[in-house]
């Protein structure tokens, strides 16, 4: 029987990857509905598409969480709120 024990899955990490997979699926569906990736030049002068904005949001979220953990420590709710706010800013203005 094919076993995935060695991958050491847990519900929190599985949930994390499910969210990432759902975000990518949403991007695919949005691209089918509104083709072209809605390119624009945002406040930082960067030419971004919808996918770029998702990438920036995810990378920023990772860095915000690590910075929070390194400087303040647990719990990470503050980092999560900042990440969500920053993602909203990126999708609206960047």
Partner 1 sequence: MINRTHNEKAWLLVLPVVILVAFNAVIPLMTVVNYSFQETFGNNQFFWEGVKWYEQVLNSERFHQALGRQIFFTATILIIEIPLGIAIALCMPKKGIGVSICLVLMALPLLIPWNVVGAMWNIFALPDIGLLGRMINGLGIDYNFTQQPIAAWLTVVLMDVWHWTSLVVLLCYAGLCAIPDAYYQAARIDGANRWQIFRFIQLPKLKRVLIIAVLLRFMDSFMIYTEPFVLTGGGPGNTTTFLSIDLAKIALGQFDLGPAAAMSLIYFIMILLFCWVFYTLMMRDESEQ
Binding residues (CB under 8 A) for partner 1: these are 5-10, 12-13, 16-17, 45-47, 55, 59, 62-63, 66, 69-70, 73-74, 76
**Is 41 strand, coil or helix?**
strand
> What gap in Å lies between CA 79 and CA 87, rounded to an integer?
12
User: Could you tell me the smallest distance in angstroms from the CB atom of residue 93 to partner 1?
Assistant: 16
Q: Which is nearer to partner 1, 62 or 85 (CB)?
A: 62
User: Could you tell me the smallest distance in angstroms from the CB atom of residue 41 to partner 1?
Assistant: 9
User: Could you tell me the smallest distance in angstroms from the CB atom of residue 87 to partner 1?
Assistant: 16
Distances (CA, A) of 52 to 6, 8, 34: 33, 31, 16
Question: In degrees to the nearest 10, what's the CA dihedral of 92, 15, 61, 90?
Answer: -10
Q: Which is nearer to partner 1, 44 or 88 (CB)?
A: 44
């Amino acid at each position: 029987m094919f076993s995935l024990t060695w991958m050491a899955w847990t519900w929190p990490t599985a949930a994390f990857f499910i969210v990432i997979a759902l975000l990518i699926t949403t991007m695919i569906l949005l691209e089918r509905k509104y083709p072209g990736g809605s390119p624009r030049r945002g406040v930082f002068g960067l030419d971004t598409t919808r996918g770029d904005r998702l990438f920036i949001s995810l990378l920023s979220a990772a860095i915000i969480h690590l910075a929070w953990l390194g400087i303040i420590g647990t719990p990470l709710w503050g980092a999560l709120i900042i990440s969500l706010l920053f993602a909203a800013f990126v999708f609206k203005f960047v």
